[in-house]
Amino acid sequence: MSELDLEEMYAVAISVAREAGQIIRDAFDKEKEVDTKQSAADLVTESDQAVEKMVNSRILGKFPNHRFIGEETTAVSGEKHQLTDEPTWIIDPIDGTTNFVNSIQEVSFSLGIMVNKKAVIGVVYAPIKDEMFTARLGKGAYLNGKKLKASKITDLKQAVIITEGGSSRDIKVVEDKVKNIHTLITHTRGIRSYGSAAINLCHVAAGRGQGYIEYGIHIWDFIAGALIASEAGAVVLDPTGCDLDPLRRRILCACSAEVAKGLSQILTHLDMGSD
């Protein structure tokens, strides 16, 4: 893949993110038709589907040989994903659908591009706040064009960690997540929850908090944000401390290797299957 091809893909990524943002913004204050997926807390709206359809057609119109993984397409087909070496556009049309439905501002469009199974471009656009987070592999991370730098904190006791209750209502999963919340409150300066994995990763990239841990999310929730965070100097791993497996449905992100190690050691690691 040439530098020129990547430039073109990056430009298209930004352009569809802006277009997606406009759709989200237009629908944000209106009444929404809501449907549920895996649980009563796992929601989908017409806007999720409209954004995904638009992005899919824009990308395949421009790059007919590229692959596409979208949250809502997957929810309908239920298929497992096989990452290939082909350029693959991975999108979450609205990350933070519960926020979107409940008029909470942390909603985002997330788009990651993988080539040879490696993330090379990440774009997360939070349209209500007009925050465009972008990263290209090896070229740093930016918020509305301004370079991002993760926090320098190394002491877990001084860290604020983002985590989520999540949408699963499986009794054991909720129990384990609550146990981790308890552990985090005890060992850190506190926890925060914003309801969007993509935005959570961008927060760590922007130095707004020192870490983020979540089990049960999907590749489309985190692949763009993970590149943005790591390009801002954060550490992105599997929660056990191994390399991140993008299909493994869990992520640990921390501003420093020390905070990452501390988190990995104190948490109960949930196995949520793979995408």
Least distance from C-beta 195 to a second copy, angstroms?
6
Our CB check for a second copy shows the closer of 190 and 273 to be 190
Strands 88-95, 67-70: pairing is: parallel
Q: Active-site residue 131, yes or no? A: no
Residues 6+ apart with CB under 8 A from 35: 43, 44, 45
Least distance from C-beta 207 to a second copy, angstroms?
5
Q: Is the CA virtual torsion 152, 155, 159, 164 positive or negative? A: positive
Residues that bind a second copy (CB under 8 A): 40-41, 43, 98-99, 102-105, 151, 153, 157-160, 164-167, 169, 174-175, 177-178, 181-182, 184-186, 189-195, 203, 207-210
Least distance from C-beta 204 to a second copy, angstroms?
11
Out of 97, 134, 163, 188, the active site residue is 97
The answer to whether residues 182 and 150 touch, using CB atoms and an 8 Å cutoff, is no
Out of 71, 106, 176, 231, the active site residue is 71
Our CB check for a second copy shows the closer of 145 and 157 to be 157
Q: Active-site residue 94, yes or no? A: yes
C-alpha gyration radius of the chain: 17
d(CA 132, CA 141): 11
- Whole-Å CA distances, 97 to 7, 33, 93, 246: 30, 12, 9, 21
Least distance from C-beta 149 to a second copy, angstroms?
11
Q: Active-site residue 92, yes or no? A: yes
Out of 52, 72, 95, 275, the active site residue is 95
Q: Active-site residue 5, yes or no? A: no
Our CB check for a second copy shows the closer of 187 and 261 to be 187
d(CA 245, CA 116): 14
- Return binding residues for Mg(2+): 71, 92, 94-95, 221
